[in-house]
């Protein structure tokens, strides 16, 4: 799970689980793909898949962040539900993560 944006993550403290955002997940997908391509270690391929599935419900609230009907992406996960705003940056991050995942 990505670190949530609700509070600053301070060394020695628990990371926030709330306000997870697509930007962090998309970058994680890309980083894991790069590591896999360098090492050919299947562990990183599986981790990349798991990270991408965050958009499809593998997140702290088990809610789909990608909207199959509109092709948009919600802005993240709040404490009790997803953020219903669909910002362009979130949709772009989903699309970039999907391109990395499908290549």
pLDDT along the chain (103 residues), means of 10: 66 73 94 97 96 93 93 89 90 96 84
Contact status, residue 55 vs residue 73, Cβ threshold 8 Å: yes
- Structure tokens belonging to residue 53: 């599935």
Residue 13 is assigned to a structural domain of this protein: no
For residue 4, is it within any domain? no
Q: Is residue 98 part of a domain?
A: yes
What pLDDT is attached to residue 41?
A: 98
Q: What pLDDT was estimated at residue 96?
A: 96
Is residue 95 within 8 A of residue 36, CB to CB? The reply is no
Domain that holds residue 94: 22-102
Question: Is the distance from CB of 22 to CB of 75 less than 8 angstroms?
Answer: yes
Give the per-residue pLDDT at 5: 62
95 within domain boundaries: yes
Within a domain: 45: yes
Cβ(31)–Cβ(57) below 8 Å = no
Q: What is the CA radius of gyration of the chain?
A: 14
The pLDDT value recorded for residue 60 is 83
Closest by CA position to 50, among listed 39, 38, 58, 60? 58
The per-residue pLDDT for 77 is 85
Return d(Cα 39, Cα 47) in angstroms, integer: 13
Q: How many domains does the chain have?
A: 1
Residue 79 forms part of a structural domain: yes
């Amino acid at each position: 799970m990505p670190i949530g944006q609700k509070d600053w993550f301070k060394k020695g403290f628990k990371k926030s689980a709330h306000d997870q955002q697509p930007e962090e997940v998309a970058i994680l997908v890309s980083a894991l793909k790069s590591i896999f391509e360098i090492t050919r270690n299947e562990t990183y391929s599986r981790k990349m898949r798991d990270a991408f599935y965050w958009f499809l419900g593998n997140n702290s609230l088990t809610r789909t962040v990608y909207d199959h009907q509109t092709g948009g992406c919600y802005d993240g996960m709040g404490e009790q539900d997803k953020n219903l705003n669909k910002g362009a940056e979130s949709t772009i991050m989903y699309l970039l993560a999907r391109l990395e995942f499908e290549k």
